[in-house]
Chains A and B, each alone.
Chain A
Amino acid sequence: MRSNLMFSYCVDPETLSGVKWLSCYLTTTKHSNLYYSFITVMVLLAITAPTALAFGFAGATAARSRILPLRWFGKGYISIVRGVPDIAFFLFFVIALDQAFEYVRHRIKCPDWSEPVRQGNDFVVCQAAKLPLGEAPQWVHETYGFFIAVLTFAIVFGAFAANVLFGAMRAVPRAQIETAEAYGMSPRQSFWRILVPQMWVYALPGLSNLWMVLTKATPLLFLLGVEDIVYWARELGGTALPRFTDYPHGDWRMWYFLALLVFYLGLTKVSEVFLERLMTRLTHGQATTGGESQRKAAA
């Protein structure tokens, strides 16, 4: 078993010590899984954040729609999803979502299937309806799990974002909309040209909180089989007995979690700097105290 492809001197780690041992230890294939999982988490955040924002925007718009059923839908989405605990959502909703997809495919692809889909506790669909197909390689399964995770995160965080945006839309001064109406703008025009550009400044504090929570919510992913950084830190840091590894060590989880702490603090700092700049830009020319003080400083 060659578990290290980086350095040639890592053949017999027992004879090594100090920095050399550490360089071998930190470059095992198992460790590269940890490094890849950082990428997984960053990609997940990069896809989930805009998707959740889109869900939130749609939810908020629906919740303040003039059409009653649409309003019910928007308000129902916001209150139901916000009320369900995340872990319950991840354990049951994701499995239900996956089964719903498979059920629809089952009805389309296997119309002459005679057995029931629900057999006791089992959920049985024909092989052709499986998502992904049973014979698909492992990476397809992992990618599928990843996108199911993105979708679930987007639905959960979208509900919170919808509530934030709903409040932000109401916070825009009524006088602004009245002026738009006086200029003869239609409701659609005043929504897109007046309300939406101005609401972000009210939404940003709430949205930035959501972003911070989202960055730390990724350990929930392992419930779906997606291995994130916390999973690998726990796995690699756990006691490694000499019988089962070339690199035995005690309970080193503290050091791994310390590394995660540094990573998360760094991510928080970068986010804060970015959000601070965004806030300055959004405040510009707004009828808020922030916008007013910017105007005075410039004058």
Chain B
Amino acid sequence: MKKLVVSALALALSSGLAMAKDKTVRLGTEGAYAPYNFINDAGEVDGFEREVGDELCARAELTCEWVTNEWDSIIPNLVSGNYDVIIAGMSITAERDEVIDFTQNYTQPDPSAYLATSADADISGGVVAAQSNTIQAAFIAESGNTLVEFATPEETIAAVRNGEADAVLADKAFLTPIAAEDGDLVMLDQEELIGGGVGLGLRESDTELKAKLDAAIQSMKDDGSLNALLEKWEIGPGF
């Protein structure tokens, strides 16, 4: 009987220890925004943020796991605790900062560019496509143009191809490879500087994790490994 009590106690203690061990950090991404994040042929999350995220987890000594979530519900699912970090090319804005917290930025503020079927597309008073709930959508809504919103980045490009929109406004790094591949689409000269660079999104109460990831981003900035990745995936200027 005594033995039983002791072993039960030991079990309770060891399970308590297991609980105290670092939990898995779940990284939520969209998986539809190359080169930031996309699903590769093997069906896994790939891209700039995959490499950054894995490196940050290694430096902060965290066990990480990747999950995909639709862009429109990416913030509600974070605050309700379905994953712990948003790593989805999300620009730091004051509006989002009211709801969630951001780490320091891991890309420079990337200029947003217009992609259109001709160089003289009407972007002052015309119809411009953007993904919903993005800084670009907010920007177009403020400007004199008519905004058409789509749930996925792919649809915004399709809207330009089929003439539904005169142009699409999106991150330049996202549009560059598309413009390079498709002869019918051209990038306009005009660019818009909006947003404060891309950061990791966290719950406001998760200060400990935020400090760890902030330190890891800083160390990647310091030793130049972040710049190497920014260059590899052709995402804007380095730090």
Task: Judge whether B53 is part of the interface by a CB distance below 8 angstroms.
Answer: no
How far apart sit A224 and B182, CA to CA, in the bound complex (Å)?
34
Task: Judge whether B221 is part of the interface by a CB distance below 8 angstroms.
Answer: no
Task: Judge whether B124 is part of the interface by a CB distance below 8 angstroms.
Answer: no
Closest chain B CB from A232 CB (angstroms): 9
B residues 61-76 in Cβ contact with A at 8 Å: 63, 65, 67-70, 72-73, 76
B residues 106-150 in Cβ contact with A at 8 Å: none
Task: Judge whether A124 is part of the interface by a CB distance below 8 angstroms.
Answer: yes
Task: Judge whether A51 is part of the interface by a CB distance below 8 angstroms.
Answer: no
Are B40 and A30 closer than 8 Å at their CB atoms? yes
Contacting residues, chain A, for B14 (C-beta < 8 A): none
How far apart sit A115 and B71, CA to CA, in the bound complex (Å)?
30
Q: How many A-B residue pairs have CB under 8 A?
A: 117
Pick the residue among A3, A134, A241 that contacts B181 (CB under 8 A). Answer: A241
Are A102 and B70 closer than 8 Å at their CB atoms? no
Are B42 and A1 closer than 8 Å at their CB atoms? yes
Main secondary structure of the interface of A (DSSP, over half): loop
Pick the residue among B40, B69, B99 that contacts A245 (CB under 8 A). Answer: B40
Q: Given contacts A28-B42, A122-B203, A128-B19, are A95 and B76 in contact (CB under 8 A)?
A: yes
Contacting residues, chain B, for A178 (C-beta < 8 A): none
Q: How large is the interface on B (under 10, 10 to 19, 20 to 34, 35 or more residues)?
A: 35 or more
Closest chain A CB from B42 CB (angstroms): 4
Task: Judge whether B39 is part of the interface by a CB distance below 8 angstroms.
Answer: yes
How far apart sit A238 and B63, CA to CA, in the bound complex (Å)?
32
Proximity bits, A227-264, B CB within 8 Å = 1, else 0:
10000001100110111111110110100000000000
Question: What are 8 inter-chain pairs, A to B, with CB distance below 8 A?
Answer: A1-B42, A3-B41, A3-B42, A3-B43, A121-B204, A122-B81, A223-B70, A235-B32
- Name B's A-contacting residues (CB within 8 A): 19, 23-24, 26, 31-32, 34-35, 38-43, 46-47, 63, 65, 67-70, 72-73, 76-77, 79-82, 99-100, 152, 154, 157-158, 161, 177-178, 181-182, 203-206
User: Ordered nearest first, which 4 A-B pairs have the shortest CB separation?
Assistant: A3-B41, A238-B154, A134-B23, A3-B42
- Name A's B-contacting residues (CB within 8 A): 1-4, 28-30, 32-33, 91, 95, 98-99, 102, 119-125, 127-128, 130, 134-135, 138, 141, 222-223, 225, 227, 234-235, 238-239, 241-248, 250-251, 253
